[in-house]
Amino acid sequence: MMRDSRFKRSLVAGVIAGVFSIAATAALAGECPADKQVPDGQGQKMSTAAAKGVKDVVRSTTDLSKEPAHIDGRLFRLRQLDIEPGGIVPWHSHGNRPAMIYIVSGEVIEYASNCTVPIVHKAGEVAPEKNGTQHWWENKTNAPVVLISVDLFPVEQKKEEHMM
């Protein structure tokens, strides 16, 4: 039993290290152009569209209150999101939940409250999501999109409050 637990932790640590390694070397081409960045709330407007065609699977979590960082009330979480053609990840905020999104495959469009133009994200890119980011995502292509999300999830919040 203890051996399984160690193996699982090693596997999770390896996956997380791999995601951050990819994130560190991946292109950041899918960012808002510098001349299109604006204060939060002055960019793309909130969509009232509900989630559509999105499968959100939590692959692993680590309770950070039990780790050397000792951060109470936070989970280090890794998820996979599959967005079907025409799929929508609804409007949400990252004011209390920093994240990094790695685009594994496909192309997805982000509409951010701090950018005056839509941002196109392609496979191999990383989208940082931090305080001051409110946005929604849409797959306007004919192919599915696969994303890996790593975030610091606040335990007290409901999953539905921020799908992405």
Q: Where are the beta strands (DSSP E) in 64-118?
A: 74-93, 99-105, 107-112
Domain assignment of residue 76, yes or no: yes
Question: 15-19, 85-89, 110-114 — which is least confidently predicted?
Answer: 15-19
Task: Please state, in angstroms and rounded to a whole number, the distance separating the CA atoms of residues 124 and 151.
Answer: 18
CATH number at 76 reads 2.60.120.10
Per-residue confidence (pLDDT) for residue 22, from 0 to 100:
47
Task: Please state, in angstroms and rounded to a whole number, the distance separating the CA atoms of residues 39 and 164.
Answer: 21
Continuous segment of H or E residues that includes residue 57: strand 52-63
At 5, list the tokens.
Answer: 């637990």
Domain assignment of residue 162, yes or no: no
Q: In this predicted model, what pLDDT tens digit does every residue of 14-42 receive, in sequence order? A: 555 555 554 444 445 678 999 999 998 89
The whole-chain average pLDDT of the chain stands at 85
Domain assignment of residue 144, yes or no: yes
Q: Domain limits at 30?
A: 2-156
Domain assignment of residue 164, yes or no: no
Domain assignment of residue 140, yes or no: yes
Could you tell me which of 149, 133, 154, 161 has the C-alpha nearest to residue 44?
133
Domain assignment of residue 22, yes or no: yes
Question: 9-23, 56-70, 138-152 — which is least confidently predicted?
Answer: 9-23
Domain assignment of residue 50, yes or no: yes
Domain assignment of residue 161, yes or no: no
Q: What are phi and psi of 13, to 5 degrees?
A: -60, -40
How many folded domains does the chain comprise?
A: 1
Question: 13-27, 64-78, 139-153 — which is least confidently predicted?
Answer: 13-27
